């Protein structure tokens, strides 16, 4: 079964042999490379088993052998073949702790005999146990003279003291380790508590912040709604009296009415033009308020761009002929159809063209439409004064007019309204401009509407 040649064989017959076996066991353990502590464990287990077998089986034949373990590492093994059969063919060490001193302690059947077998693995750090090395060890162990039982007793005592010392040292180490561990645990717990408190604190802050944010945006929404409502109501209420003023002014200056002095006629003219300005402001405000409150509902339809452009050309030519500016409305590329609200789109383009003509002294104003996949892009470009880059967003704010603009020429509400309307139609409005070289307002709309 093993085939390995034994390192050493001994006979266990009398009490003294126990000492001898113990001593030689330690020698073998040392020779094959077990560490000091393991040598003692091994020898102690061996002598305990030997004592048991001398008592229960009148002695045994003891064989030391080195075999290869499952993982390729060497294993030191001792087979103790009892002289008389073991009671029930079983072996139970007197002390249960004995089995723990070695890797295995068991009873095996070998060539008809029942053998008590114990083994211990040789550490990987030990020198390799080649066949040559084993032969050398065998030779050496065969020659070394066994010491007397008294010597072995003395050695055993020394070892016992050393083992006790070792146990005490280990216990001390364990105590230190335990207290360190306790300390660390306390630290970790404190850190954990602190962290979770901080987390809770932060969470509370975030929750409060969100609540505040929600509240603020609700307030903002309410404020914006009441502003729109206020603007709509006021402008609506103002429209009737202003229209009445204009009508009365017209009546007064009618040739069929009583003649006026030149002075009176001029003053009535001023009243009429102021009232007309006021009416256009009121109308713009009303439009913007409607757009802001979402009360404008686009009437979606297929818009014939060619027709729409023709209309714009006609209505704006009157404005252009008065100045040195040429108005060019390009023909849109076919098929010139777009799904949108015709009235709103016309309002936006008219507004942009109107501005362009208003702010251009010479050169041209051009309206162009381009189709790009599923989008239509309308651009209104002029050769006017242009707008400084830092004002490109500001001119879309309500009532904003570029400093130096003739205040009487408008209300500052046209662009914010136009942008809102374009957004309602599912598009966007952008501006590119270089001061001194003109501006281009671009309206980008989905060809198929929203
Ligand atoms: P309004 O034309 O009634 O003043 P808008 O909202 O239409 O109001 O325009 C805001 C301001 O933007 C104008 O007052 C003007 O200063 C500037 N602006 C608009 N269009 C042009 C343009 N084509 N060229 C130069 N400035 C412009």
Give per-residue pLDDT as tens, 313-326. Answer: 998 887 776 678 89
Could you tell me the pLDDT band of residue 193, with boundaries at 50, 70 and 90? confident
Q: Report, at the CATH architecture level, how domain 8-146 is classified.
A: 2-Layer Sandwich (3.30)
Ligand 1, atom 11: closest residue by C-alpha: 401
Of the two residues 126 and 428, the one the predictor is more confident about is 428
**What separation in Å is there between the alpha carbon of 364 and the centre of ligand 1?**
17
Quick one: average pLDDT of 295-318?
Answer: 92
Percent of the chain at pLDDT exceeding 90: 52
pLDDT in tens, 65-109: 999 888 888 999 999 999 998 888 888 887 778 888 999 999 998
For residue 426, the CA-to-ligand 1 centroid distance in Å is 23
pLDDT tens readout for residues 384-405: 989 999 999 999 998 899 988 7
Among 395, 404, 407, 422, the mutation site with the greatest number of ligand 1 atoms within 8 A of its Cβ is 395
pTM over 0.85: no
Supply the pLDDT for residue 408. 62
At residue 149 the predicted structure's pLDDT band, cuts being 50, 70 and 90, is low
Of 121, 152, 118, nearest to 46 by C-alpha is 118
323, 325, 416, 441 from 367: Cα distances, Å = 18, 13, 20, 10
Q: Who lines ligand 1 at CB under 6 A?
A: 355-356, 359, 382, 384-385, 387, 395, 400-402, 405, 410-415, 439
pLDDT at 106: 92
Residues of the chain with CATH 3.30.565.10: 8-146, 301-446
The answer on pLDDT for 2 being more than 60 is no
Q: Ligand 1 pocket: which of 284, 357, 359 to mutate (most atoms <8 Å of CB)?
A: 359
The CATH code of the domain at 301-446 is 3.30.565.10
271 with 251: CB under 8 angstroms?
no
Q: Compute the distance between CA of residue 379 and CA of residue 371 in angstroms, rounded to an integer.
A: 12
Percent of the chain with pLDDT over 70: 97
pLDDT: is 381 or 286 the higher one? 381
Quick: pLDDT tens for 366-376. Answer: 999 999 989 99
Q: Whose CA is nearest to atom 7 of ligand 1?
A: 414
Report how far ligand 1's centroid is from the alpha carbon of 438 (Å): 12
């Amino acid at each position: 079964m093993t085939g390995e040649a034994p390192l050493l064989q001994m006979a266990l017959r009398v009490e003294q042999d126990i000492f001898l076996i113990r001593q030689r066991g330690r020698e073998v353990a040392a020779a094959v490379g077990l560490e000091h502590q393991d040598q003692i464990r091994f020898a102690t287990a061996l002598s305990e088993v030997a004592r048991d077998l001398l008592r229960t089986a009148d002695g045994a034949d003891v064989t030391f052998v080195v075999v290869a373990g499952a993982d390729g590492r060497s294993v030191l093994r001792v087979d103790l073949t009892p002289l008389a059969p073991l009671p029930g063919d079983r072996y139970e060490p007197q002390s249960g702790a004995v089995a723990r001193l070695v890797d295995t302690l068991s009873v095996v059947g070998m060539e008809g005999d029942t053998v008590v077998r114990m083994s211990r693995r040789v550490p990987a750090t030990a020198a390799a146990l080649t066949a040559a090395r084993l032969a050398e060890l065998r030779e050496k162990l065969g020659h070394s003279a066994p010491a007397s039982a008294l010597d072995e007793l003395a050695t055993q005592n020394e070892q016992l003291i050393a083992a006790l010392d070792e146990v005490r040292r280990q216990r001390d180490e364990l105590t230190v380790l335990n207290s360190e561990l306790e300390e660390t645990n306390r630290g970790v717990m404190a850190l954990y508590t602190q962290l979770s408190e901080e987390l809770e604190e932060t969470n509370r802050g975030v929750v409060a912040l969100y609540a505040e944010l929600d509240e603020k945006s609700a307030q903002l929404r309410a404020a914006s709604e009441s502003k729109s409502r206020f603007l709509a109501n006021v402008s609506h209420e103002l429209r009737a009296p202003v229209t009445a003023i204009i009508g009365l002014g017209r009546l007064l200056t009618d040739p069929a009415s009583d003649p006026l002095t030149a002075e009176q006629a001029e003053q009535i003219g001023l009243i009429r033009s102021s009232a007309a300005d006021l009416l256009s402001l009121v109308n713009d405000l009303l439009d913007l308020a409607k757009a802001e409150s979402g009360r404008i509902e686009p009437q979606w339809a297929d818009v014939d761009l060619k027709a729409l452009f023709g209309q714009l050309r006609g209505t704006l030519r009157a404005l252009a002929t008065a100045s040195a500016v040429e108005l060019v409305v390009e023909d849109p590329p076919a098929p010139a159809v777009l799904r949108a609200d015709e009235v709103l789109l016309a309002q936006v383009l008219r507004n942009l063209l109107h501005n362009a003509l208003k702010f251009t002294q010479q050169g041209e104003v051009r309206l162009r439409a381009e189709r790009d996949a599923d989008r239509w892009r309308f651009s209104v470009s002029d050769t006017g004064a242009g707008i400084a880059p830092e004002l490109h967003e500001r001119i879309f704010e309500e009532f904003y007019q570029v400093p130096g603009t003739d205040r009487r020429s408008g209300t500052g509400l046209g662009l914010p309204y136009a942008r809102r309307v374009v957004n309602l139609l599912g598009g966007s409005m952008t501006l590119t401009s270089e001061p001194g070289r003109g501006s281009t307002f671009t309206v980008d709309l989905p060809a198929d509407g929203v």
